[in-house]
Amino acid sequence: MRVLCLVDGPVLPPDRWMWNHLPESAQGDEVDFLWASPKDRFRKWGKLISYYPQYLRLGWKAVTSNKRQGRYDLIVAWESKMGFPAAVARGLMGVDHPPLLVLAFSYKGAATHFPLFSKWSTRAISHFTVLSPEEPAYYSKTLGIPQQRITFCPLGWHDICKDVQATKELGSYIFASGRSYRDYRTFLSAMEGVQAKVVVNTRRFALSSAAMPPNVSVNEYMPEKEYAQLLAGANFVVVPLYATPHAAGEGTIIQAMSAGKALVATCTASTAYYIEDGVTGILVPPHDAAAMEKACRYLLDHPDTCAYMGIQARQKYEMHFTSEYAAGCQYAVMQRLVGLHNNDRRL
């Protein structure tokens, strides 16, 4: 296959993105990358200034360059922030070749304020993969996408804490991380009643409306190695989320599982798939600070159970959430999509 990939962050030779994790049979593919890496320092509509314009330019470049050269069998876009701009360009130019596949698609953020435009855009997308098993039915109802054009592929992640030394100087602590759709108001309210040190890794603006308990320290996003050191040293990980119909928080969840950490997380349609309640972690109702506090107290008071959940989480990661597993699922969709498209053209 000849594939053009739109990704958020540099992919420079010899790096081949997901092809790093695919078997030898896929290594003969010709893969090119277009990437953007804007600074995510604003929230909500502030992203229209510093964030989305780069993705819009990238999507337009991908479609126009291939329209001139016609050299690719498939265009792959990572997430909606790459997929929607490419779809808009295809729709405006009336292009339907090659197929456009959007991986880890979600309908959220600015797109939800323009539902008619979003529905029009998705018509130019050949296929979607999503990160939770509930999303195909949701997007079919919300955006009118036929469910046969949507495939569930779980998110995968590399072993982030492999060969990483845990942070020791902080002692014992609870760790929370991430920005998107995080309910830090509920989380910080829960931490007021917990007698433990708490470390939060997020953007400051994600906490701007929440009162900060004295046992909580905050740092901005950091390089992966330092983040992994914090993760490796934590007692367990908390992922507080708003109740959303789309996937959210999976990256942090899988990173914690790869590190062998028990989890406390808000129960949503997607977290209920990734976390086995009572086995790899504890799920709590949305916006329920008391339940979150109770779950955290339980893990602090039962260190053996906490450690056992961490072991179970690591085993589940190894079976279902590695980079290799996720790449294999996504690659199967690519092969099927290119095969169907080639057959249609021959007809």
Residue percentage of the chain with pLDDT more than 70: 93
Which residues 6+ apart lie within 8 Å of 192 measured at CB? 213, 293
Q: Is the dihedral of CA 277, 166, 37, 126 positive or negative?
A: negative
Residue 107 has phi, psi (to 5 degrees) of -105, 100
Residues 293 and 206 in one domain: yes
pLDDT for 206 equals: 82
165 lies in a domain? no
Per-residue pLDDT of 262-298, as tens digits, reads 999 999 989 999 999 999 999 999 999 999 999 999 9
Per-residue pLDDT of 73-98, as tens digits, reads 999 999 998 999 999 999 999 888 89
Q: Mean of the pLDDT values across residues 299-306?
A: 97
Structure tokens at 101: 């596949």
Residues 126 and 241 in one domain: no
Residues 77 and 217 in one domain: no
pLDDT, mean over the chain: 91
Q: Biggest alpha carbon distance in the chain?
A: 68
Residues 14 and 126 in one domain: yes
Higher pLDDT, 37 or 160: 160
The residues facing 198 across adjacent strands are 174, 216
Structure tokens at 268: 């949503």
pLDDT at 51 over 90: no
Residues 314 and 331 in one domain: no
pLDDT at 48 over 60: no
Residues 178 and 301 in one domain: yes
pLDDT for 329 equals: 97
Structure tokens at 34: 């277009």
Of 32-36, 58-62, 142-146, 212-216, give the lowest mean pLDDT range.
Answer: 58-62
**CA distance linking residue 178 with residue 174, whole number of Å:** 14
Residues 111 and 254 in one domain: no
Q: How confident is the model at residue 223 (pLDDT cuts 50, 70, 90)?
A: confident
CATH of the domain at 278: 3.40.50.2000
238 lies in a domain? yes
Residues 313 and 177 in one domain: yes
pLDDT for 204 equals: 82
pLDDT for 41 equals: 56
164 lies in a domain? no
Per-residue pLDDT of 308-340, as tens digits, reads 999 999 999 999 999 999 999 999 999 999 998
Which residues 6+ apart lie within 8 Å of 334 measured at CB? 1, 3, 74, 76, 101
Residues 58 and 83 in one domain: yes
Please state whether beta strands 100-103 and 127-130 pair in parallel, antiparallel, or not at all (unpaired).
Answer: parallel
Per-residue pLDDT of 157-198, as tens digits, reads 999 999 898 877 788 999 999 998 999 999 999 999 899 999
206 lies in a domain? yes
Residues 116 and 151 in one domain: yes
* Per-position b or e across 231-270, b if 16+ CB within 10 A of its CB: bbbbbbbbbbbbebbbbbbbbbbbbbbbbbbbbbbbbbbb
Of 49-53, 162-166, 224-228, 240-244, give the lowest mean pLDDT range.
Answer: 49-53
Tell me which residue range forms the domain holding 54: 2-156+323-346
Residues 212 and 311 in one domain: yes
Residues 205 and 84 in one domain: no
pLDDT for 145 equals: 97
How many domains does the chain fold into?
A: 2
pLDDT for 269 equals: 86
**Cis amide prior to 98 (ω within 30 degrees):** yes
Which residues 6+ apart lie within 8 Å of 169 measured at CB? none
